Amino acid sequence: MDQHFADAPYRDTAVPTDERVSDLLSRMTVEEKAGLMFHQMLFIGPGGDLAGAIPAADKVSTQDMVTGQLINHFNVMGGEEPSVMAAWHNRVQNLARSTRLGIPVTLSTDPRHAFTDNPGASFSSGYFSSWPETLGLAAISDESVTEKFGDIARQEYLAVGLRVGLHPQIDLATEPRWSRINGTFGEDADLTSRMAVAYVRGFQGERLGPQSVSTMVKHFPGGGPQKDGEDPHFSYGREQVYPGNNFDYHLKPFEAVFAAGITQIMPYYGMPVGTEHEEVGFAFNKSVITDLLRTRFGFDGIVCADWGLLTDAKIMGETHVHRAWGLEHLSREELILKALEAGVDQFGGESCPEVIVDLIRDGRLSEARIDISASRLLREKFILGLFDNPFVDPAAAPHHVARPEFIAAGEDAQRASFTVLTNQPLNQAETGRPALPVAAGSKLFLRGVDSTVAADYGTVVDRPEDADIAIIRIKAPYQPRPGQTRFEDFFHAGSLAYDPDTLNDILQLCAQVPTVVDIYLDRPAVIPEIAGAAAALLADYGASDQALLDVVFGGAAPRGRLPFDLPSSMAAVQNSHPDVPFDTDHPLFRFGHGLTV
């Protein structure tokens, strides 16, 4: 370890941040600077130990990444009980402290407070408090609720050592078929802007500091207008298209969060087609990153490329090609040079700092260029207070994660986010008595609802003909792709309409007994027949069975409003412009629709 480690100016909290950054940078080798520029995934070992090599994911051991490759930014995969996770975090920090300069590790995470579990996008809440997806926060449309969520999530993250949220996702859901809509705030730029600012404020506070969780906002310049709704995690979804000439509409939420003080941005994988910009992935696009982001908007923070742009990788044991769309013919060295020239600072999901070292030694890349990115990355660590106190208290962690008041707030948000789309009379002769709320003690036929939970609200029966009312939970439809990989299974794409057999099964039940239908909208759905047949139709965006039943039986008041239009047909979707909001003809339900019960 450096003999001056203990009294180095970069360790002195009395020294201004910029001077601490300059001092540390002057002491760093090229290898140490290059290590900063990679943001790899990191697994928690058994029982909170440091993970060894993971061949199925092409990952070397934690030890090798931290002390060998000198990487010190990691996206945490999976989770453990809070005290175990906190203790693991401290082991990682102690390992980092053993390196020559003792640069602390920054741990980041995808969203982990809701119900979606997609290893490419988010984790279910697990040990943390459970909330609706961001679509549900948008449905509530109350900045105070969104900010409260951010503040609670911040406290839970801090307790286990998570310092960067790889969120919020502020793409606009203007293409209804896109499989990433569940992570957005919906279709409207103004609503998304309001929610995004409140979200950032909850995580970061009024300004970034030692009690903040930094937000890496994504995906600049807006990942919503995907051709045919396909996703650019995969080669068939690489094109973003703007037939409505509406590129700038997708920038509005980013303008709002820049003013709110964000310091990290992630571009998406997609390549713009038919615009003024080069038809290459956004992270390689100089006119987008330098001219638009850095010059027009004046953003001088960290730009971290989305995961897996440079190297083919194993995901769930299956090989997926790197996502350098439009530049597939280039070598890894050429891709790095192209991204750095565009203005990127860091590469997500990659661990090849030796390539940057070789490029510098070969004279193809200047050390001055990586100093610019290294300075930004070091500055963030200093502002977050990681150099001053990188450790957390494992004994205290359980008292700061999933506190009773945090759980209650999340459950309140789940109930509030339900959107009542229809509420018909139970009997046409009883025009004054709508289906909701259902009378306590009713005989209930269930599908997709836990009978043990429902038994607290009524009498569960086994046959529809014996029921007063049926309550069923369904998910928005999608089309599995023939031969798709396990990873692709998590991305719900394709048609928004149910297949005939599934639809007929739902309609037959509605004809047999008055039926309350709750549909989980991870993206819009084409459901005119169900809307006409159901006694009541609700939408949820991530909520427990208990939250649903509280709403159905009148124990809680839903106040959700649709965060996007629900189209009336697939033909209307196919004829709409993917970059233009509210563009499907004669939607079944409009943005903002929601009944009071």
Run of H or E residues at 346: strand 346-348
- Read off the tokens for 265: 């941005």
Q: Which amino acid is at 518?
A: D
CB 405 within 8 A of CB 160: no
Instruction: Say if CB 203 and CB 165 are below 8 A apart.
Output: yes
Alpha carbons 504 and 311: distance in angstroms, whole number: 46
Tokens coding 389: 């106190």
Structure tokens at 194: 């309001």
| Cα separation, 203 vs 293, whole angstroms | 22
> Among this protein's residues, is 190 annotated catalytic?
no
Among the options 110, 188, 231, 306, which is catalytic?
306
What gap in Å lies between CA 222 and CA 132, rounded to an integer?
22
Nearest to 186 by CA among 582, 586, 589: 582
Q: Exposed, middle or buried, 452 (CB in 10 Å: 0-12/13-18/19+)?
A: exposed
Q: Which residues pair with 540 in a beta bridge?
A: 520
State the helix-helix crossing angle for 404-417 and 545-552, rounded to 10 degrees. 50
Is the separation of the CB atoms in 280 and 326 below 8 Å?
yes
**CA 56, CA 392: separation in Å to the nearest integer?**
31
Give which of 382, 393, 371 is closest to 104, Cα–Cα. Answer: 382
570: left (phi over 0), alpha (psi -120 to 50) or beta: alpha
Q: Judging by beta carbons within 10 Å of its beta carbon (0-12, 13-18, 19+), is residue 512 exposed, middle or buried? A: middle
Task: With H, G, I as helix, E, B as strand and everything else as coil, classify residue 261.
Answer: coil
Three-state DSSP at 128 gives: coil
Number of neighbouring beta carbons within 10 Å of residue 479:
14
Q: What 3 state SS string does 493-559 have?
A: CCCCECCHHHHHHHHHHHHHCCEEEEEECCCCCECHHHHHHCCEEEEECCCCHHHHHHHHCCCCCCC
Residues designated catalytic: 306
